[in-house]
Structure 1
Amino acid sequence: MKALVGIDIGTTNIKVIAFSVEGKPLITLSRKNVICEENGYFDFDGNYIFKNVLSMINELVIKDIKIESIGISSLAETVFPIFKTDISTIKSMVWYDRRTNKIKESFFKKIGEEDFFKITGLKPQALYSIFKIGWYYENENEFFSKAIKWLPVNSYLGYQLTGAHYIDYTMLSRTGALDIKKKEWSDKIFSLLPFNKEVFPDFINSGEKIGFLKKRYKNFLGIDYDIPVSLGGHDHICGNYAVAAFQGNNVIMDSMGTAENIQAIVNLENIDLEKLFKKDLFVGLHVIPDKAYIYRAFHYSGGLINNLISLFFNKPIKDIGKKDFEQFNKEASRYLNKETEINFFIEDNKDNITSKDLFLHDINIIDIPLRARRGEVFMAGIRYLGKKGKEIICDLEKLTGIKAEVVAIGGSTRNELLMKEKARIIKRNLYINQVEEAVTLGAALLGGVGAGIFKDYREAVGNISREKVKVL
Structure 2
Amino acid sequence: MGKYVIGIDAGTMGVRCVIFDLEGNEISSAYFETPTVYPKPGWVEQDANDVIELAYKSVAKAIEKKNVDTSEIISVSFTNQRTSWAPIDKDGNFLHNMILWRDQRGAEIFPWAREQLAKHGMTELDLYKRCGHPLGSVQCGSKAFWYRLNKPELYEKTYKMITPHAMLAKAFGADDWYDEESDANWWLVTNGDTFEFDPELCDIFGMDIDKYPRNMKPGTPIGAVTEEVSRKCGLKVGTPLFVGSGDQQCGAAGVGNSGEAGLGSVCLGTAGLCIGYSATPVRDANGKCHVLGHPAGGYTMEGHASAAASSFRWCRNTFSRFEMTAADLADMDVYTIMSSIAAKAPIGSKGTIFLPWLAGAACPYYNDSARGAFIGMTLGVTKSELLRAAMEGICFEMRGMLDALKDAGFHEFKKLRVTGGAARSDLWNQIQADIYGCPVETVNASEATALGAAMIGAVGAGVFKDLAEASRHMVRVKDTYEPIPENVERYNEVYEVFKACYKGLAADGFEQINAYQNKFC
Do Structure 1 and Structure 2 share a fold, with TM-score over 0.5?
yes
Q: 1:317 to 1:267 in 2, by over 3 A?
A: farther
SS in 2 for 1:278: coil
CA–CA separation in structure 2 for the residues paired with 1:465 and 1:301: 25
Establish whether residue 234 from structure 1 lines up as the match of residue 246 from structure 2: yes
- Larger deviation: 76-85 or 332-341? 332-341
Match of 2:74 in 1: 68
Shift of 1:102: 1.8
Preserved contact between residue 323 and residue 334 of structure 2 (Cα < 8 Å)? no
1:129-187 CA deviation, whole Å, 9 max, x = no partner?
22322333233333222222111111121122223122212220222222112432223
Structure 1 70/79 Cα, relative in aligned 2: closer, same or farther at 3 Å?
Answer: same
Q: Match for residue 132 of structure 1?
A: 143
Alignment check: 8 A CA contact 2:6 2:18 kept: yes
Q: Distance in 2 between matches of 1:88 and 1:180?
A: 28
Letter in 2 for 1:134: F
CA contact (8 A) 1:397 1:404 kept: no
Q: Aligned match of 2:420 in 410, 413, 427?
A: 410
State the secondary structure of the residue aligned to 1:110.
helix
Counterpart secondary structure, 1:124: coil
1:209 to 215, 221, 235: 221
Kindly indicate whether the alpha-carbon contact (under 8 Å) linking 1:6 and 1:70 is maintained by their aligned counterparts in 2.
Answer: yes
Per the TM alignment, residue 288 of structure 1 is displaced from its structure 2 partner at its CA by 1.8
Give yes or no for contact 1:126–1:351 (8 Å, CA) kept in 2.
no
Aligned twin of 2:480? 470
Distance 2:422 2:371 in 1: 21
Aligned to 1:35: 36
* Structure-2 change in CA distance of 1:362 and 1:164 (3 Å): same
Q: Which has the higher contact order (CA 8 A, sep 6+)?
A: 1
Q: Which amino acid aligns with 2:228?
A: R
Q: Distance in 1 between matches of 2:299 and 2:321?
A: 43
CA shift in 2, pair 1:159/1:213, >3 Å: same
Match of 2:167 in 1: 156
- Mark the CA change 1:457 to 1:305 in structure 2 (over 3 Å): closer, same or farther: closer
> What percentage of aligned pairs have identical amino acids?
18
Aligned twin of 1:92: 98
Q: 2:188 aligns with which of 156, 171, 176?
A: 176
The whole-number CA distance in structure 2 between the counterparts of 1:37 and 1:458 is 41
Aligned to 2:84: 78
Which of 49, 52, 58 is the equivalent residue of 2:51? 49
Q: Deviations over 1:245-284 (max 9, x none)?
A: 4562210101111321011111223x2x2xx132732221
Match of 1:118 among 129, 135, 142: 129
- Residue 176 of structure 2 aligns to which amino acid in structure 1? A
- The equivalent of 2:13 in structure 1 is 12
Alignment map for 1:265-304 (pairs within 5 Å): 265-269=277-281, 271=282, 273=283, 276-278=284-286, 280-289=288-297, 291-304=298-311
State the shift of 1:60 in Å: 5.0
Secondary structure in structure 2 of the residue aligned to 1:125: coil
1:336-371 deviations in whole A, cap 9, x for unaligned? 357622233456984799xxxxx9992222232333
Residue 285 of structure 2 aligns to a residue whose secondary structure is helix
Determine helix, strand or coil for the equivalent of 2:350.
Answer: coil
Question: Residues 408-451 of structure 1, C-alpha deviation per residue, up to 9 Å, x if partnerless?
Answer: 11111112222222222222111112223111111112122223
Higher share in strand: 1
User: How is 1:390-409 mapped onto 2 (pairs within 5 angstroms)?
Assistant: 390-397=399-406, 399-409=409-419
Q: Normalization by structure 1: what TM-score?
A: 0.87
Matched, 1:436 2:438: no
Secondary structure of the 1:233 match is strand
CA change 1:110–1:218 in 2 (3 A) is same
Structure 1 contact 70–229 (Cα < 8 Å) conserved: yes
Moved more, 404-413 or 361-370: 361-370
Instruction: Describe the SS at the equivalent of 2:344.
Output: helix
Larger displacement relative to structure 2 (111-120 or 180-189)? 180-189
Confirm or deny: 8 A CA contact 1:209 1:231 kept in the other structure: yes
In 2, Cα distance between equivalents of 1:182 and 1:409: 28
Measure, in 1, the Cα distance between the counterparts of 2:462 and 2:413.
Answer: 36
Q: Which runs of 5 or more residues in structure 2 are unaligned?
A: 118-122, 483-521
CA RMSD of aligned residues (A): 3.2
**Residue pair 1:117, 1:277 contacting (<8 A) in 2 also:** no
Q: 1:394: Cα distance to partner?
A: 4.1
Amino acid at match of 1:401: H
1:26 equivalent to 2:27? Answer yes
Equivalent residues in 2 for 1:339-378 (5 A)?
A: 340-345=350-355, 350=360, 362-378=371-387
Say if 1:50 and 1:160, in contact at 8 Å, map to a contact too.
yes
Q: Is this contact kept in 2: 1:155–1:231, CA < 8 A?
A: no
Alpha-carbon distance in 1 for matches of 2:369, 2:191: 37
Residues 245, 101 of structure 1: CA spacing in aligned structure 2 closer, same or farther, 3 A cutoff? closer
SS of residue matched to 1:19 = strand
Distance 1:181 1:266 in 2: 12
Alignment match, 1:356: none
Instruction: Give 1:113's aligned amino acid.
Output: E
Q: Which runs of 5+ in 1 are unaligned?
A: 354-358
What CA deviation, in whole Å up to 9, does each residue of 1:175-234 have, x standing for no partner? Answer: 222211243222332122222211113221111111222343245567764122112111
Q: Please state if 1:379 is matched with 2:391.
A: no
CA deviations on 1:6-33 (whole Å, 9 max, x unpaired) are 1000011201111112222111111111
Instruction: Name the CA distance, whole Å, in 1 between partners of 2:323 and 2:186.
Output: 32
**Contact 2:296–2:466 (CA under 8 A) maintained in structure 1:** no
For 1:438, the aligned partner's letter is: A
- The one-letter amino acid paired with 1:278 is N
- Specify the code of the residue in structure 2 equivalent to 1:15: R
Structure 1 residue 377 displacement after superposition: 3.0
Residue 305 of structure 2 aligns to which amino acid in structure 1? F
Q: Which residue does 1:305 correspond to in 2? A: 312
The AA in structure 2 aligned to 1:367 is G
What secondary structure, in the 3-state scheme, does the structure 1 residue paired with 2:377 have?
Answer: coil
Distance change in 2, residues 1:194/1:433 (3 Å):
same
Aligned counterparts of 2:61 and 2:437: Cα–Cα separation in 1: 46
| Counterpart contact for 1:306–1:317, Cα < 8 Å | no
TM-score normalized by the length of structure 2: 0.80
